[in-house]
Structure 1
Amino acid sequence: MFSRNLFSVLSVSVSLSLCTNAQFIGEPGNCLAATNNADGAAVVIEECGNNATALNSWVVPQGADQIGTIQIFGDKIVFEDQMWLPSGGEATIKWPGTSKCVDLTNSDLADGNQIQIWDCDETLSNPNQIWNVLAVTEPKSFTVSLKKDTSLCITASSNATNAAVVVDTCKPGSVLQTWSDPKNNGQIALADNQCITLDGSIANDGTKLILSPCVESSVDIFQLWSHQTGVLNSGAAAKSCIDLTNGVETPANQLQLWTCWLFTTEVDNTNQDWIVNNTF
């Protein structure tokens, strides 16, 4: 999966990081990296954390869910003359026209382990093929729409503390639907420094989402989220994510926390699929 919005932004520069479990923006990870900007150089795994370099940053010209090259920040592409299909959300990087995917060889995260091609696991249960992406270019702001009904956006019912976080009809330019991550640590904040938070700081299924003043001096895990297309994981419970309560697509339905389908079943839960639209 690619960048916070590799899903819709063209030619965004990203670092590909292996997601063996839910991983949040800014946390240390292991990245796809070229050993050199030269023909025939091996593509390997390496520990990268927050460090974007010319050898672990990539350009995906066509964006997510579109066939195209994956080009290193120099001028070489992964496997010349071969095209790849990066997916949005926690997902695979597939070789179009085949059943092969980019795969971490022997599950080995040691620096220098060369990446291989392997039969795709269509159930997305093979962690060696699930990739997360950290944006090198951070968005200034973003909106979040429901994948199954893109006319609905994650919305603050007001900008007041304890205001409910709901779905509502998308309104371009709405200050109650325009979010940012001011510290690039996983917060989802309005312009007036109110962050999406778990009500009561409780990370249980069914906990409703509200606004509370963004914590700036320390890390509040109840305000941290992965905000990229796909499931929006909670920093307080990595296997739980933002969920459309009871699947009700009526404006003003307050959102909740719920166990992510990705970790419990092979069946997609469309109440948890979101599209993040970034503005750079």
Structure 2
Amino acid sequence: MSHTAARRWIRRVTAQVLAAGLAVAGLASLDRQEPSAPLAAEPAAVSTNQIGVTPPPMGWASWNSFFSSIDHNVIKQQADALVSSGMAAAGYKYVNLDDGWWQGDRDANGNIVVDENLWPGGMKAIADYIHSKGLKAGIYTDVGKQGCGYYFPTTRPAAPNTGMEGHYQQDLETFQRWGFDYVKLDFCGGRVEKLDQESTYKAISAANEAASAVTGRKLVLSFCEWGTGLPWNWATGYGDLWRTSDDILFFQQTPDLAKMYRNFDQALQPAAQHTGYVNDPDMMMVGLNGMTAQRNRLHMSLWSILGAPLLAGNNMATMTTETRDILTNPEVLAINQDPRGLQGVKVAEDTRNLQVYGKVLSGTGKRAVMLLNRTGSAANITVRWADLGLTTASATVRNAWTRTDAGSFATSYTTSVPANDAVLLTVSGTEATGSTYEDTTTATTPTFTGVTGASAGTKLVDITYANGGSTARKATIQVNGQYFYRVDFPPTGSATTYRTVSVLAHLAKGANTVKFATVSGSTAPDIDALRVQNIPGTDGVALKGTASNRCVDIDKNTYVNGTQAQIWDCSGGRNETFTQTSRGELVVYGNKCLDADNSGTTNGTKVIIWDCTNGTNQKWTVNSNGTITNNLSGLCLDASNAATANGTKLILWTCNGQNNQKWTLT
């Protein structure tokens, strides 16, 4: 019987499975309706054979140390030092030229002309030199007519016409022919010209594909529009990485802890990061003047639990041994480079600013954990196994920085964390139960209905698939009415060899629909099954309006302070999932509180999101009559003008018993 024919017999299985005991042979015994013929080609309901995906880029970038003052000699020196220091051997492979390499000339055919006094032999020569060291080469441009150096000159005069607008495919072909492997695409010109971020970067992605068809090479695309166009909603699979926040360091600024925390927080977009696509909180400040060893380790801990790109910005030629050892700690790098490719998520904050983050690692029962103390005093922080999606059975704990075992602990682990510092751990425990769902159709990109969430929150989803081709195939995934994301499915060896890749998805409480679709121009993988597991520390509730049957929502997954809350069709998205804290807060995204704007106490005060401050205007009482009152004003959470349509804004208003002021927490 063919594989396709065999699949017609298989009915969906919703089974509770202990992942610690999963094996392909064992899974084949899951309840199914057997045909009379043998099922030799039929896959197990869920494969447990995870496949590794492209890790976040690691390397060095020129901006934070040299700004616009780069030339052939500077880049050669840094490439040499990257190798001699051991950084390259640790995985730092990219040497990325940032702004300043090009002064803006083109020839009669529109081709880039560079100053050969700065770049003897042209840009191909420097790319060749970087490659000769066993490294990869990166370059910089802007999506507009002018680059950032035109609007914000640093160590060289403003140079006009340094952007790629009007030359997208031409410039990408040029970069590829020169031998570059990576391009950072800035947005200074794009911002001034008011270009649309999504359509512009998608056009550049298409131009990159077209250029590759000509040259046979392809560039890693780094989108750098600073999160202004909400790229976590659309960039996955168009770019390889995308900036989620403003620059971590401006020209002539000293490293700043507040900006480090800000960029970390804004990069927490877990549904967008998977299968080789990465949220980018910007280049690192490790080793720069003003950074202590403790601060350097904190920076690395934050970027490692995120699974962020590791692009060092310090001067490789003058780097201290201490800085090198921090940048190359193998256990910290292993957390960042874990082949499952997922982002860490916040799973607990029992006390304000004492936070626990967990990252699902490859294998079974493996987690990375960061205990982050954002206060000014040392404090004990506890990680509970249950919050991570593990059982409460004993788990072993290892400190990644000291590379020592802490021991085996039942239920949880507690340790003291210094002020404004982090403890980075790996935990090996027992995977909690999950639910499996098998495709019942012959579709290669099926729709799974009835995917059940016991509670609203972020879930681990393992996707079983086959790809008998020689290159990665793509499909999109969409949960309910949320944004859809492109997912990469690497080759599995044959059309009947099944492996898994993982994503983090946001599910509503109750039944969810998980829909896959073919990407235009790409052969689809054969998707066969899902395994869905809760990460309980992310669980929350939706606030569903009685009058509208719609949910409190933060528009387009934005995290910007001051964004007014609204109602929208309930989808289970992270922008509709709120955590009730013991402090009376309603927290969305893990770090934004529902807030009475400007501590307002009058009718019509906007209900917004804002960084949690412990203010009374951010505390709420959920009443037995269905109303939610603000603790500062005593006014009710209200859908303005008693409207029920999508996009209706939320305000505070005198409690009047009407249904537009009543909410069900689900």
> Taking structure 1 as the reference length, what is the TM-score of the superposition?
0.43
Work out which of the two has the higher radius of gyration on C-alpha atoms and give 1 or 2: 2
More helix by share: 2
Higher relative contact order (CA 8 A, sep 6+): 1
> Taking structure 2 as the reference length, what is the TM-score of the superposition?
0.18
